[in-house]
Amino acid sequence: MDVKIGVLALQGNVSEHIDAFALALDRLGHGGSSEVVTVRHPEDLEGCHALALPGGESTTISRLIGKNNLYELIRNFSGGIFATCAGMVLVATYVDDSRISTLNLIDMTVDRNAFGRQRESFETDLPVEGLDGGPFHAIFIRAPVVTHAGPGVTILSRLDQGIVAVEQGKHIALSFHPELGGDTRLHERFLKKNGI
């Protein structure tokens, strides 16, 4: 199966997600028949089986999604969305910042800077529901947190501050940065969930 994964490349951790998805695809046996591409314009999304919304600055990414006419295309995208950090903010139904136009893809409320400023970034070994191989070493950088998840949302992990990993349908949203550190288990889980 030829696989094409898109990474929204408007701002944020783009190259890290490209590398992580390329490695995950290789580990799943799709290395020779797959590609990971950047998505900046509507035509870039054509033929993609899944899309990553990387971490970065959520207000900036929101503005650029609108400027590049990508909102409706992403909302109606038939593949799964892999959303991390700022991406988690964007896929929510509600966020505590009126400057952000959310995509309404996962039924949840997100507190945008729940973990504070850059200097309050941290790492922890995080148990993730259904993830084989033990805890995931998670890197939190000015991370959001889910304060409310709807009935169709599966909670995968939480900390004292709130929910930090969820799934709904084909989509997964994470407060932290799984693209940093070389552990592709969450990328692989997402790909398998999307039939890849």
Pairing type for strands 171-174 and 80-84 reads parallel
The 8 Å CB, 24+ separation contacts for 162-170 are 162/111, 162/114, 163/108, 164/126, 164/138, 164/140, 165/126, 165/128, 166/106, 166/108, 167/193, 168/105, 168/106, 168/107, 169/80, 170/50, 170/79, 170/80, 170/81, 170/194
Out of 171, 179, 187, 188, pick the active-site residue.
179
What does 97-130 look like in DSSP terms, one character per residue?
-TT------EEEEEETTTT-SGGG-EEEEE--TT
Q: Exactly one of 30, 49, 171, 177 is catalytic; which is it?
A: 177
Which among 17, 85, 167, 188 is annotated as catalytic? Answer: 85
Known catalytic residue: 179? yes
Number of other CB atoms surrounding residue 45 within 10 Å = 19
Q: Is 85 a catalytic residue?
A: yes
Gap between the Cα atoms of 155 and 148, Å rounded: 10
Active site residues: 85, 177, 179
